[in-house]
Structure 1
Amino acid sequence: MRRKKKSFIVLSMIAALTVILAACGGGTSDSSSSDGGPQFIDLLTGGTEGTYYPLGGSLAEIINSNVDNVEARATSTGASVENMNTMSEGNDDIIAFTQTDIAAYASEGTLMFDGEAIDNIQAIGSLYPETIQIVATETSGIQTVEDLKGKTVSIGAPGSGTNASAEDILGIYGMTVDDIEVQNLDFGESTTGMQDGTIDAAFITAGTPTGAVESLSATTPITIVGLEEDKVDQLIEEKPYYAPYTIEEGTYSLEESVETVSVNAMLATTEGMDEDLVYNITKAIYEHTDEIGHQKAEFIKPESAVEGVSIDFHPGALRYFEEAGVEVPQ
């Protein structure tokens, strides 16, 4: 009797241990890590003072709330170029913010990625426009792109997206950076330079209204230089990562709207990320925009998510947009 009781206790312990081990093993979802826990995804953003980082935090919350067995976390970085370089390192648990033009340069191995193409990046979708703004002081007399000739103009840091856009726009007007007195300044330095009169104009790539430009316009009369429609069309035909953009009347106290172009902020990932996971993340983001706690939420829509994207879409994102009835350019 005692032996039977002892055997019963041993069998009971084995059964209990089996249940515990099964529970620890977790499910078989592709979104789980190998140890059964959640899959961790780094959402590479930008500096803490910019748009990417706070928006990335909001998107991470949406992913965590709507995709099973995933834990996404926004990480502050040096933004687009650094994010593309990080994605080249072979980690398939990364989603990154970048500009559409920077993604194109990385994929092609041009400009700041000269000779070092990053061939594993794929698009999830566009988010919001980052406008190419040519800001000039009224005292400079600059009204057109041609008027920039001989003037002191900031075109952003060497190797930056702003620098590349400045060269593109000057190019469609038959000009080069040799036609201007170049200054390589960031947004804050550019607006300070215009305020104190050391520079005449600056190329600034950012969502509008841009805080630095608003602050400048409050103390210094400015002009936003527009682009003619045929030049916009030419630029987009040559560089499909650009999109037309209108800076509305009233922005920076403008008396009339100004036509220009934009690149888009977008999300990208690696080709090695699981297709179902990318599908679920894409669906979560574009179908829960009402939960995005950021003013850029108004721009994030499935129908505009393919604008300006010239790199290949990840199959998971492509599947979502096709189901949503969004035509994806091939």
Structure 2
Amino acid sequence: MKRLLTGIVAAGLASIVGAQAQDKTEVAWGGSNPGGVMYYMVGVAGTELGKGLPNINITQVTTGGSTENALRLIKGELDMGIVYGSHVYMAQDQQGPFANADKGDMLRGVAMAYEGPTYFVTLGDSGIEKLEDLAGKTVALGPPGSGTVFNCSNILTALGMLDSIKPQMMTFADAGRALGNGQIDAFCQSSSPAAAVTELAETRDVTVLAYSDEQLATITETFPFYHGGAMPEGTYRGVPETAMPYTTVYWVAHERVPSDVVQSMVSAAYEKQDVLAQGHKAWAQMKPDVKNFQSLGAPMHPGAEAYYREQGQWPE
């Protein structure tokens, strides 16, 4: 009898454990590849948010970056992703990299993640002092499928320079090493601080090329989803405050993610924002930014809306 009862109890416990496992919500969250800002943002968020949300299992998915994140969200291969606002906008009308994709009407906003600049990095002794000096040079534009390639190509197109360079596609980490080894002349980077640039600047003098006022005006007139800004002095060792184009980046969810899951995650993220920012500085910029996201043509996720209404942060 004792063995039978033991077996029944064990079976019952196994059933409970099985039910708990089934109740756990899996969330696949796309960032970028190592060396990119999105990679580290999602990494620290997955680790920290997971500590207090036992019923949610967050998996960091390594991707090419924003473009791939948006496309995979549209295909249903991701549950969340860090995505440029410009990509949310273009996905609604199936423009640019989304011309052959389904309409992005399943994209839902969670929060503004950060505002990211796009800039070109070279070595201090390269002889490259301004953007025009990139003509004829080998320039890494980022990994295939990344928002960095999208941004860098847009900027060079606006300035009439895209056909003047020798473009290469490589990961951020590989680009930093290739520049340090003299295999390329410069590389383009979106967002800051980026690990690839930080690591290179620790051992070499780096130059971040400044944009002129005229160049910034041309870029923002050609592509209105960019705006002028300045990367603060000290972002990288030895680099002064530098004017450059910025774009807004969002934490985006697929519409299928349950409202209570999104509400729990966004609540935990704001509660732990200081901790997240210690993991990567970009998290310090997180805010609702509801109206600006909605102006892109996509709604906020109901779970995020519930949280912001609860906190009195929903615009009326």
Task: State whether TM-score is above 0.5.
Answer: yes
SS at structure 1 position matched to 2:80 = strand
TM-score, normalised via structure 1 length: 0.70
**Residues 144 and 170, structure 2, Cα contact 8 Å, conserved in 1:** no
Given candidates 56, 59, 81, the residue that maps to 1:96 is 81
SS of the aligned residue for 1:269 comes to strand
1:143 aligns with 2:152: no
Structure 2 counterpart of 1:12: none
Deviation at 1:203, TM superposition (A): 0.8
- Residues 121-200 of structure 1: matches in 2 within 5 Å? 121-173=107-159, 175-200=160-185
Unaligned runs of 5+ in 2: 1-11
Q: CA deviation at 1:178?
A: 0.9
1:305–1:191 CA distance, 2 compared to 1 (3 A): farther
Q: Which residue of 1 aligns with 2:236?
A: 252
**Is the Cα contact below 8 Å between 1:244 and 1:260 reproduced in 2?**
yes
Q: Relative to structure 2, which stretch is displaced further, 308-317 or 123-132?
A: 308-317
Q: 1:242 to 1:280 in 2, by over 3 A?
A: farther
The letter of the residue matching 1:271 is E
Secondary structure of the corresponding residue to residue 249 of structure 1: coil
Equivalent residues of 1:84, 1:118 under 8 A apart: no
- Name the TM-score, length of structure 2 as normaliser: 0.73
User: Displacement, 1:164?
Assistant: 1.6
Counterpart of 1:267 in structure 2 is 251
3-state secondary structure, aligned to 2:56:
strand
Structure 1: gaps (5+ residues): 1-19, 25-31
In the alignment of these two chains, the number of paired residues is 296
> Deviations along 1:155-207, whole A, 9 cap, x unmatched?
2244432222112212332x141122223333233333333334322112243
Report the alpha carbon displacement of residue 132 of structure 1 after superposing the two structures with TM.
1.5
The 8 Å contact of residues 293 and 300 in structure 2, kept in 1 or not, is answered as: no
- Counterpart AA for 1:144: K
Q: How far apart are the structure 2 equivalents of 1:101 and 1:324?
A: 28
Q: CA–CA distance in 2 between the matches of 1:157 and 1:36?
A: 36
Given that 1:194 and 1:201 are in contact with CA atoms closer than 8 Å, whether structure 2 keeps it comes out as yes
Distance 2:36 2:183 in 1: 26
Q: Provide the alpha-carbon RMSD of the alignment.
A: 3.9
Greater radius of gyration (CA): 1
Structure with the bigger RCO (C-alpha within 8 Å, sep 6+) is 2
Q: d(CA) in 1 for partners of 2:32 and 2:138?
A: 29
Aligned CA distance change for structure 1 residues 255 and 46 (closer, same or farther; 3 Å): closer
Listed one character per residue, the Cα deviations across residues 242-271 of structure 1 (whole Å, up to 9, x for unaligned) are 454432223433353111134454321123
**Cα offset, 1:84, TM superposition:** 2.9
Q: Which amino acid aligns with 1:170?
A: L
Instruction: Assess if the C-alpha contact under 8 Å between 1:149 and 1:180 holds in 2.
Output: yes
Q: Secondary structure at the match of 2:108?
A: strand
